[in-house]
């Protein structure tokens, strides 16, 4: 008899950042999701929101998602589509898919723990190691702090790094990139991320100037939902365009890819709704001949990259992995040696958050159904 979902519990977690991502981003919010099936097997996943929406995500999980999922088959790919169709009236992405990810990840974890294999091996391993690039949320850093960070990445063995751009004064970005390129030398890759700060005209001008630093890609140069502007920008510039951390469904990824607006997609496995839709987006990118690099969440993204055919760069934000932040209660599922990430043998998802972590500001008490 097929096991069904018998219990879903959530726990709010706030994780202080060692290196703030800005004056208003000093911690990360996580909603841990625990699923128990009718045979008593347990899986744990999480939803992730750096700044906005954690309470709404948890409420969605505690009510709409749980009401629909209890009693249904405890299998991620069987649940995802009917659950998304049920929730679609409230929005096709954003809070909807972020909440769905917590449950989807928990079901994948449950399946991996049942089988006694890592997430990578459960999906189907293609690689033993994945290449990692150094990344920083560093537009607010001084030039000296940025140079010091780039130097640490070089010393750690990274062959590619990414830095933030989009200063009010383009001359500041030029000066900072020149300093970083000096540290990297000509042989290492340099990516830049504007985090949606530019208009079309600003982006064209800035990229024309910054292209002199031999850029691997420009990430999120424009508002993430402005497809027409991305199409026009891609027509005007030579630097490859990367985006996707703020696209929430396979359909939106297909629109940007098919319109010729993007060279490399960066799905965030939580924001798109979990591992189930992430793998579909990866298949789509492969079919269309577009590159893919998972966004953030090293402990999850590296495991996914190892399960995909082809080579996919994995992002490692300095001092921001769950392990580096001291958020894990068990060994990390991913080991990072130099620029190479590998699995450590933890079954399932392998992410177990410390019981000492909680979000004291959460307005809704811990919940569960038994």
Each residue's pLDDT tens digit, 159-206:
999 999 999 999 999 999 999 999 999 999 999 999 999 999 999 999
> Which of these CATH numbers, 3.40.50.360, 3.30.390.10, 3.60.15.10, 3.40.50.300, describes 5-116?
3.30.390.10
What are φ and ψ of residue 6, in 5° steps?
-105, -25
Which are the catalytic amino acids? 164, 295
Nearest of 132, 179, 118, 170 to residue 315 by alpha carbon: 132
Q: What is the dihedral of CA 45, 50, 54, 57, to 10 degrees?
A: -60
pTM score over 0.85:
yes
pLDDT at 163: 98
- DSSP letters of 128-186? S-EEEEEE---TTS-HHHHHHHHHHHHHHT-SEEEEE---SSHHHHHHHHHHHHHHH-T
Write out the CATH class of domain 121-343. Answer: alpha beta
- Could you give the angle at the alpha carbon of 204 between the alpha carbons of 198 and 210, nearest 5°? 90
* Consecutive H or E run containing 60: helix 54-60
pLDDT at 370: 37
User: What is the rounded average pLDDT of the residues 322-331?
Assistant: 96
15-29, 50-64, 136-150, 186-200: least confidently modelled range: 15-29
- What are the structure tokens assigned to 77, written together? 């790919």
Mean pLDDT over each residue of the chain, to the nearest integer: 95
Q: What is the dihedral of CA 120, 126, 131, 137, to 10 degrees?
A: -40
- How far is residue 253's CA from residue 86's CA, in Å, rounded to a whole number? 21
83-87, 323-327, 363-367: least confidently modelled range: 363-367
How many helices (H) and strands (E) the chain has is answered by 12, 14
pLDDT > 80? residue 242: yes
pLDDT at 361: 57
Percent of the chain with pLDDT over 90: 93
Question: Could you state, in order of their start, the residue ranges of all structural domains in the chain?
Answer: 5-116, 121-343
**pLDDT classification of 360: cutoffs 50, 70, 90:** low
- How far is residue 262's CA from residue 240's CA, in Å, rounded to a whole number? 7
Burial pattern 225-259, b for ≥16 Cβ within 10 A else e, equals eebebbebbbeebebbbbbbbbbbbbebbbebbee
CA distance readout (Å), 363 to 99, 248, 288: 17, 27, 44
Fold match, 5-116 / 121-343 = no
Burial pattern 54-83, b for ≥16 Cβ within 10 A else e, equals bbebbbbbbebbbebbeeebbbbbebbeeb
3-state secondary structure of 42: strand
* Consecutive H or E run containing 16: strand 5-16
């Amino acid at each position: 008899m097929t096991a069904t979902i018998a219990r879903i519990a959530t726990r709010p977690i706030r994780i202080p950042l060692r290196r703030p991502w800005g004056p208003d981003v000093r911690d990360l919010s996580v909603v841990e999701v625990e699923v128990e099936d009718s045979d008593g097997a347990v899986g744990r996943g999480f939803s992730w929101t750096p700044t906005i929406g954690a309470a709404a995500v948890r409420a969605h999980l505690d009510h709409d998602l749980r009401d629909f999922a209890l009693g249904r088959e405890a299998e991620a790919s069987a649940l995802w589509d009917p659950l998304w169709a049920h929730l679609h009236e409230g929005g096709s992405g954003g809070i909807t898919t972020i909440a769905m990810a917590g449950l989807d990840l928990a079901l994948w974890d449950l399946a991996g723990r049942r089988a006694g294999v890592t997430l990578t091996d459960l999906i189907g391993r293609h690689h033993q190691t994945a290449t990692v690039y150094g990344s920083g949320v560093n537009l607010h850093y001084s030039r000296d702090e940025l140079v010091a960070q780039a130097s640490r990445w070089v010393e750690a063995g990274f062959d590619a790094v990414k830095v933030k751009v989009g200063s009010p004064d383009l001359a500041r970005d030029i000066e900072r990139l020149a300093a970083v390129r000096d540290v990297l030398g000509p042989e290492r890759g340099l990516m830049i991320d504007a985090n949606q700060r530019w208009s079309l005209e600003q982006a064209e001008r800035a990229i024309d100037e910054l292209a002199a630093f031999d850029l691997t890609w420009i990430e999120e140069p424009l508002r993430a939902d402005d497809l027409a502007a991305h199409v026009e920008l891609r027509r005007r510039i030579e630097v490859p365009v990367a985006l996707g951390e703020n696209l929430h469904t396979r359909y939106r990824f297909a629109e940007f890819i098919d319109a010729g607006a993007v060279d490399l997609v960066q799905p965030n496995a939580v924001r798109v709704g979990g591992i189930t839709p992430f793998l579909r987006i990866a298949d789509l990118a492969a079919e269309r001949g577009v590159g893919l690099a998972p966004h953030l969440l090293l402990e999850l993204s590296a495991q996914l990259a190892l399960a995909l055919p082809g080579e996919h760069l994995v992002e490692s934000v300095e001092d921001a992995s769950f392990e580096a932040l001291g958020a894990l209660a068990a060994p990390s599922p991913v080991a990072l040696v130099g620029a190479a990430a590998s699995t450590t043998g933890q079954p399932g998802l392998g992410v177990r958050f410390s019981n000492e972590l909680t979000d004291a500001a959460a307005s809704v008490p811990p919940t569960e159904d038994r």
